[in-house]
Each structure stands twice: as structure tokens, then as C-alpha cells.
Chains A and B, each alone.
Chain A
Amino acid sequence: MKETTTLKKSAQTDGLSRVDGRLKVTGAARYSAEFNIKGLTYGVLVGSTIAKGSIKSLDTKQAERAPGVLTVITHLNSPKVPGYQDGKPTGNGVFKIFYDNKIYFSGQPVALVVADSFERALFGASQVKAQYNQDNHQTNLRANVNTAKAPHGDGTYKRGTEDAWKTAPVKVEQEYIIPSDIHNPMELHAIIAQWDGDDKLTVWDKTQGVQDARDEIAQIFKLKKENVQVNSKFVGGAFGSALRTWPHEVAAIIAAKALNRPVKVVLSRADMFTSVGYRPHTWQKIGIGATADGKLVGITHEAIGQTSTYENFTEGTVGVSQSLYACPNVNTSYKLVALDVGVPTWMRGPGEATGAFALESALDELSYQLNIDPIELRMRNYAQTEPQGGKPFSSKYLDEAYKMGAEHIGWNDRSPKPGTVNENGWLVGYGMGGGMFGAYRDGATVKAIMMADGNLILQTAVSDIGPGTGTAMVSIASEMMGIPAEKIRFDMGESSLPQAPTQGGSSITASVGSAVYAVCKDLKEKFQQLIGNGGTDKPDYAQVLKQHNLAKLQVTSSAQGGDERKKYAMFSWSVHFVRVKVHPATGVIKIDKVACVADSGHIVSPKTARSQIIGGAIGGIGMALMEEVVFDHRYGRIVNNNFADYHVPVNADIPQIDALFVNKPDPYINPMGAKGMGEIALIGMASAVANAVYNATGKRVRDLPITPDKLITMDVELS
């Protein structure tokens, strides 16, 4: 485990540019919907217009007669899905598409119209006429908090004394609310399904994990795993929305079977709001108290999130309060309200991003009450060991990160008195907020093949949703083998390749990177055996192969974590600093400057790491200032399900964002010393923005997003 120093070079330079960058910007990269399979047909889903009830009748005749329509699949004629025949009805933890006539949410697919062209399928879909028996629906979290239930046990956690914050001399108790946010990756979810006989299936599918998708599909259709091939060569963003297999994927596979032809289903943007999960609307309340010199006495953190009636989705919303600060007394509770909506799912920084908005806002509020600088307050409660169990951290340089960020943003220019700095008619403010996320590592296997010409091929079944996994892996291999990146090809995104985990939880560099490291080490050892002792560590591989009359040399290696996790608590850390300008009369908010600092161990691929941080920060700005799913609860239906009405940041909203890295290897997590950074890039950002807006204006917005109307209608709380 002390090999960490071998991989230092990349961090000193900018590192590799994206190995697939050219393919992507020239349009040569092919995404799941872009494979031209012979005989391809096109499916369009028809969504229910009610939120709860059952289908009374479905008239598909007109649709079936529409030009080009090949079939219309509904619960009335759907071929049986073997994995659905387990006796359990829909709504028992899993949503079964076209299984029965029950409606669980508005937008739920009730039919799939398949035609010989997309346009004709779209027209056919408009001709399906559904009648419903409507039941009273509930889509409003706030109106239903009284029905909140703990997902498992009583949903509570306690250390020390319950509600100890109430006994503290200085305290804050406030409610914080986030709306639902949609992942909305640029690429729509898409699948092409093709059967080869009755028991063999190939899909080109937008997924974050080709092997998990293969396993899920094999289980649903009761197929042998080796008879299911899942390909996902390029993924145009996902942020968690493609972590699981969704009903539309099953629908395409059903239709391909029924028609005995390949079927493509691409979700519409409106479907993206109901059919592939979202960050759940969550109500939180924090009570936090400290001594007059800023030592935390206690934190109470309650959270109530929304889920669907047919499946519980849980996330670690209150975890940050348990682990971020050294606080003797902490109690938390986490509950869910089941509503007549689609099920949520993990979205970048799941749970932690929601929880950190509340906790880091509350800490900011406390800092003003105490009249202690927010960074100083955090330092006075700095956790030297993991607060829950007392384990040492494998590495934690958050204190250094605070210093780097503060210096970079010009924290000294911040006025401790809110609403007092005016620059040419604009109020100026500074804010900060931090995040943490578990640094995970899974097992992974990589095959390495050194070809006669000295080119190296690496193969593993990971998929790349955008962080630049291929680039990071090529960086590691290039350094290990001592060959230029141009001579390395990284094959991925096919389920038949050697085992790799799903891309999620910021764990891929740690997991697959370790396997690349291991396979390179093993391959070099093989070369050493050929050369004999005393040879160079990085020989001319092509020459060695030639000397030994070999066409290639290959090796497959696996890597996984050991006992280190038992001894150490492993986390990545981040802190975000924001300078904002707010127009006092119109409420317009401009983010003026951003500095994000990540403590994520050794930085394997500096350029793509910077992009990761910038992307996450922008996601956090969107969460803070504009993203919000709006329901009309009378109809139980989303009213802003498109990119004109659901706002994500555009270039004009984003200033220069500086991504800084502590860049010190973690000695225990893996041989590269690399920890994850996908989630921490976003976690804490929304609070940094909200805290900066408060510092600028004296207005504390506790329900996101912070839009101009909220600022101008709020009375100033300046004391």
C-alpha cells in the first residue's frame, strides 16, 4: 500500500486531453439511439394523463390503422414477461410495465406504438384513446407530511443526548426545502433491442452499468446472463438517471419480441421528467446549537422526502449531519411520504447534496449569530476522526482545502455584516459550503493485451457517462507502462468484457483504475520474465515480443479493496466558495466568481478532473438558483416538463469556475491514492450560493431555488 508515489507525473502537468474528445465533438461517437440496425422499427410511448386510478378502456384501433404503424402494445396484449409472473402485483417494490390496468403516476406509459418511422410512431401515439377510472391522487409533499413513514426501522440515529442543541446558549432552528430536480442529461434515454431467436438478446442501451443492466434484463426475461449482450459505448450524461433498468427498456424488449424485429425507443424530454427518476423533493428541519465560543453542542436533523406509492426510494440525506463535524450530540430522523408520482432515484451527490444544503446553511446562520467567521466555525468543530465510530480517516485535508479556497476567492474581502457591500448599485456577498461523500472502491477486472507493434489494448466492461473514464484509465496505463497515450486503446461499454462495476458513487477511478494498475503491473512482470532479471522496468515491448517470436502478450487481472476499510473511514471532501452580486431592486442574482476545492486524493487525470468539478459546480448552481419541478396538484401533473420552462444554467449564468485540488494521495484506498470526486463536486454548492446571497442581501432563502421574485418579496432580516 505504500506504492502511492509511483504515480505522480500526471498531477504536475495538465494531463491527457480526452481520448474520445475528437470522436465526440465531430459527431463520430455513436450513442445508443444511433445504431442503424437492419430492419429497425421505432416505438413511442403513450403516457397516462391521470395520476391515480385505472385504465377503463384503451382504444388502439385508430392507432393501429395509422400509416406505418406495426403494432400497439398495451397491458391488454403485451407478451408475458417471465420475471413479472412472480405472483406479486405491480406496485410491490417494482413497476411492471404493461402488466395490469393500474395507474400510479401521470405520464406512466399505457401503450407503446411501434411504426416504421419515428414520425409515424409519434402520430400513431397521438391516436391512442384512453379512458380512466380516476381516484383521488396525492402529489403534494407539504400537504402529506403527516403520512410520513420511516423506510426501515424507525429511521432514527442518535449519538449522545437527543435534542441537546436546545440547551446551547446560541442556536438556530430552521426548515429547508428543496424541490425535485431532474437529471436532464443532454442525451435522452434510449434503447435499441434486438432478439436473436427466443433466448438471445442484444441491446444498445443508455446505461451507467452494462453488466448490472445485463443482470437485470436477464432476470426480468429469465434469460441466461451470457445470452444477454448490453452495449453502451458512449453515454451523453446521466448523473444517476441511468443507474438502473427502467420500464421503457423493458417495453422496447417486449416489443422487439412481439414484432420479431429490432425496436428503438427514445424517451421524449417530457418523459425524462417522469420515467427515469429525479432528486426527490425534500423537507428538512435542523436544530443546531453551540457554545458562545463556537463549539457545537448538538445537531438535530429531520428529513422527509417524497417517494412513489409502488416503490420506496431512500437516500442518505441526514448522513452529513452525522459525520461532517465533531459534535457530541447528534440525532437524525429520515422519513418518506409515498405520493402518486414516479419513483425518484439517485442524482449526483444523492442525499448528501440535499442534506448539505440544510446543514451548511444552518451552520452559516449559526456563524452570524455567534459572530464567528464561517470557516473559523468549521475549524473549531473540525472532525479529526470519524465522528460516528471514532475510526481514523484514511486521509482528510479539508483544513487545507478551506485555506486554498478562501485565499483564491478573496475571502478577506467579505464583510461579516450582510447587506453592506454595494458595488455600482449591486450588493456583493461571499459564501461557502462544504461536502463529503464516501470514498468507495469495488472489485474490477481488466484484460491487457500488448500487441506486436507495441500498442496496448485494455478491456473492461465499465461505461463512461462523461467524466472521462477512458482518459483516466489511459493516463494510469501510460504512466505505468511508460508508453505514450496514443499507443493505448481502452475498450469498454460492452457487457461481455471483463467485470467492472456500474459507474456511480464516484468509485470508478478507485475501482477500475486499481485494476488497470494491477494488470499493467502483471503485464510488466510477464515481460520481465521474458527478458530475465536485470532488464529495464519499461522495455521496448514490441522488440521483446519480436525477439521471442510472440504476436502478443496478454494478461487479465483483478483488483479489489482489502481490510483497510475496516480500519479507516474513507471520504472525499470538498468546499465551494462563491462571490455573488444581487441587484437590490430587481432581485437579479449573478454568480461572479467560484472556487471549488476538492480533497480527493491523488489527481489521476487533471484535465478531466477539472471538468468534473466545473460540471458539478454548475449542477449546484442550477440547484441553487433555478432548477425546480413544478406540479399542478389539481391534476397531479408536471407543468414545466421541457427545457424552455425547466431551467438549467446557460453560459451566461456561469462565470469562471476555478477547480483546485489538494492533490495529496490517500495512503490506504488504492495504489494510486485516488479518491472519487463526481459527487463532492456538487455537494455543498447550493448552500455556498445561498450563503453568499445572504451575505450580499441579508435575505436568507431556505427553499430552493433562489429566484429573483423570492428576493424582492422578502423583507430584509437585517438585525
Chain B
Amino acid sequence: MKQFQYTRAVSQQSTIDAIAKPGTKIIAGGTNLVDLMKRGVTAPDKLVDINNLPLKNITSTKTGLHIGALALNSVVSENSLVLQKQPLLSMALKAGASPQLRNMATVGGNMMQRTRCAYFFDVSMPCNKREPGTGCGAMGGYNRMHAIFGASEQCIAVHPSDMCVGLAALDATVIIAGKKGERRIQFIDFHRLPGDHPEQDNHLAMGEMIIGVDIPDNNFAKNSYYLKIRDRQSYAFALVSVAAALDISNGIIKQARLAMGGVAHKPWRLFDAEKALAGKAATEENFKQAAQIAMRDAKGYEYNSFKIKMAPAVIAEALKHAAGLV
């Protein structure tokens, strides 16, 4: 671990000023950043601790729910507004990590967490994400946890977050602050596919910070479910996870939202499957059909091809739970 400077941010503006300098990074809960620093994957010169900034609020707005970037994962998952309006988000959060980690982890940090790809973590291995141009270790290596959608020749890593899968399904918006003021971006557009620049996980520009997310009100609260399949019952990253939200009226699906985790470089929205479900009856048969539609462009590698069989099963199962059929 390299020696580094540590300072506490006094304001949002001072944070934005500080992170404009290369080598300076925000630290929130530290649960991802510190691990990466210990392994030598990242070596900032200076850390700006933003935990004292007033960005912890969870409030109702005219159109929905606002959650500050520093709200803790544990707090969000137990918040009564969240449980009432967006229970899917609570379920997704609780499926992630462990209670101890969720007590430290923040909403902003969760969005910004890096991939868990072993080749990214081991500095003696090639990795285009960590060191562009060195190659992708996972492509011809141990890729059991890796992407089946949207990968590139450069990178087949997945984004590991559960929370983000919930937020992607719920049409959330990210609020970003930078030198030029605030801007908003659709949550599903926040993370990137790897393409030729796997070193960039998302569209946050240099010198910008996340200050919160907004989730619009919806009719999904009664019929939503987060299902995560993993190698043990808790404290493991998803092999495949699915966030399913349905607006059902008289047995007919008015609207559906589906997103998957553990399958792509970003939370993977299943737009085609959603469309296929709209107007249909909430039956197991229809869920299975939608699941098949979702798998159209899937591509497996040596160790992760099982996901092509697992993912549709998890989609159908999550939808059954959401519809109350289980």
C-alpha cells in the first residue's frame, strides 16, 4: 500500500475542487476502495472522505423518492419510505454483501464499485480494465463469473452490484455534480459496456461526483421481487440475479420491468422481454416465453455457459415470485 494523504471534505464544492486533480479519489464507506488499494490495483495520492457531507437523506419528492449518495446500504434497505414505495430496492440491497459491509457501504460507492474479476484484482495478471493494453486474462481463463451479454474482445467482466440491478429496473435517475453544476442521467445509461475502453466503468466524468438518485413513483410495489442465485446462501456475488417488477391489474400485466445482474458489464435491462409481457396474463407460461426472449443475444465462454441455462430459469422464477405465483 502506497502512502497517501487523507482529508475530510468540508463541502460538496471543496470535494469537486479536490477531485479535479489527478490522483485524488473520493472515499465513502471504503469497503471497495481500501481493498483495491491494499492489493495495489489502485494507488491514489490523496483521499477525500465525504462521509460528513449532507447527502444521507431519503425523502419523498413530488414525483418519487430521493436517496442521497451517502445513505448507507443498510439504512436504505430498512427505510420505511423505501419499503413502502420501492420494496424491490430493499430486497436487492439485502441480497448484497453482508450486514457488516452494508453498514459501511453507501449508495454512491455501491454504484462506483469495481468488478470482482480475479484478473482485475491480481496485479501480476493481464487485465485491460486495470492496465489497458495488457489483454484480458479472463477471456481464455477462469471466467465462471463473467458476462454473457454485451462483452467485448477487451473485457468480459461483470458489474457486481445488486443494488444497481434494482435501480436499473426501477427507472431511476442519477444526480451528478461537477464544476459546471448538476446534471442528471438515466440510471441505465450510467454504467457502460466495455467496448474498447474497459477501463471506464461508467459515464461519470473526471471531476464529477454522485450526489444522489431519484426513483419515480410506480405501481410495482405489490408485485416485485429480487432473486439472486449464488454459491452460498449469503455473502457471495451473483451467478445470476434478476429484479422483476410487475404492474398487474385483473391478472393482466400492464407494465413490466426486468433487469439482470451477474451477466454484463452493467445492470442488464431486458427491454424486449418487458415489452413481450405487457398486456399478457401473469402466467408461468408467459414468464418462460419472456425469459427466452431475454436470452437472444447471450454468448457464453468456457466456464460460464451454464448462465445461458440458468438465467432464463431465474427470470421466470423471479417473475413467478413477483406475481405471487410462488
Residues of chain A at the chain B interface (Cβ within 8 Å): 49, 67, 119, 122-123, 126, 425, 583, 585-588, 590, 625-626, 630, 632, 634-635, 637, 639-640, 642, 644-645, 647, 649-653, 707-709, 712-713
Contacts of A585 in B (CB 8 A): 313-314, 316-317
- Residues of A within 8 Å of B40, CB to CB, are 126
With a cutoff of 8 Å between Cβ atoms, the chain A residues found around residue B10 in the complex are: none
Contact with A along B176-190 (1 / 0, CB 8 A): 000000000000000
Is B314 a contact of A586 with CB atoms below 8 Å? Answer: yes
10 cross-chain pairs, A with B, having the tightest CB-CB distances, nearest first:
A652-B233, A709-B306, A652-B234, A49-B124, A639-B118, A585-B313, A632-B141, A653-B233, A713-B306, A650-B235
Closest B residue to A649 by beta carbon equals: B232
Residue of A nearest to B140 (CB): A634
Q: Which residues of A contact B307 (CB under 8 A)?
A: 709
A653 vs B236: C-alpha distance when bound (angstroms): 12
* Chain B, 125-147, CB within 8 A of any chain A CB: 125, 137, 140-142, 144
Q: Provided the pairs A123-B3, A637-B124, A708-B310 are in contact, do residues A650 and B142 lie with their beta carbons within 8 angstroms? A: no
* Complexed CA–CA distance, A591 and B37 (Å): 37
Q: In whole Å, how far is A179's beta carbon from the nearest beta carbon of chain B?
A: 13
Task: List, in ascending order, chain A residues with CB within 8 A of B229's CB.
Answer: 586-588, 708
Contact present for A123 and B306 (CB under 8 Å): no
Per-residue interface assignment for chain B, residues 44 to 66, with 1 indicating a CB less than 8 Å from any chain A CB and 0 otherwise: 00000000000000000000000
Interface size counted on chain B using CB atoms at 8 A? 38
Across the interface, B142 reaches (CB within 8 A) one of A49, A587, A639, A709, namely A639
Quick check: A651 and B306 within 8 Å, CB to CB?
no
Q: From residue B159, how far is it (CB to closest CB) to chain A in Å?
A: 15
Asked if B203 is at the interface (CB within 8 A of a chain A CB), the reply is: no
Residue ID in chain A nearest B141 by CB atoms: A632
Binary CB contact string for chain B from 100 to 133 against chain A (1 if under 8 A, 0 otherwise): 0000000000000000101101101100000000
With a cutoff of 8 Å between Cβ atoms, the chain A residues found around residue B3 in the complex are: 67, 123
Known: A119-B1, A635-B124, A708-B239. 7 other contacts (CB 8 A): A126-B1, A585-B317, A632-B137, A645-B118, A647-B232, A652-B232, A712-B309
> Could you tell me if A637 and B122 are in contact, using CB atoms closer than 8 angstroms?
yes
Residues on the A chain within 8 Å of B98, using CB: 650
Are A709 and B140 interface neighbours, CB within 8 A? no
B233 near A712 with CB under 8 A, answer no
**Assuming A637-B124, A707-B231, A709-B239, is B2 touching A123 (CB within 8 A)?**
yes
User: Taking A626-B232, A647-B231 as contacts, is the C-beta distance between A634 and B313 under 8 angstroms?
Assistant: no
| 6 A–B pairs (Cβ distance < 8 Å), ordered by A | A632-B137, A637-B124, A639-B142, A650-B233, A653-B232, A709-B310
Residue in A67, A640, A712 whose beta carbon sits within 8 Å of that of B118 in the complex: A640
**Bound Cα distance from A709 to B236, whole angstroms:** 15
Chain A residues near B38 (CB-CB < 8 A):
122
A650 touches B125 (CB 8 A): no
What 0/1 readout, one digit per residue, does chain B (216-235) give for beta carbons within 8 Å of chain A? 00000000000101011111
Min CB distance B196 to A, Å, is 24
Name the B residues within 8 Å of A626 (CB-CB).
Answer: 231-232
A122 CB contacts on chain B under 8 angstroms:
1, 38
- With a cutoff of 8 Å between Cβ atoms, the chain A residues found around residue B124 in the complex are 49, 635, 637
Which B residues are CB-close (under 8 A) to A588? 229
Expressed in whole angstroms, the Cα–Cα distance for A708 and B124 within the complex equals 31
Q: Tell me whether A651 and B1 are in contact (CB under 8 A).
A: no
Question: In the complex, what residue of chain B is closest to A127 when comparing beta carbons?
Answer: B2
Residues of chain B within 8 A of A651, CB atoms compared: 234
A639-B118, A647-B236, A649-B232 known; A630+B142 contact, CB < 8 A: yes
B3 CB to closest chain A CB (Å) equals 7
Query: Do A586 and B118 touch (CB < 8 A)?
Result: no
Find out whether the CB atom of B234 lies under 8 angstroms from the CB atom of A586: no
**Chain A residue with the shortest CB-CB distance to B233:** A652
Which residues in A have their C-beta under 8 angstroms from that of B239?
708-709
Q: Which residues of A have CB within 8 Å of B235? A: 650, 652
Say which residue of B116, B227, B234, B326 sits within 8 Å of A425 (CB atoms).
B326
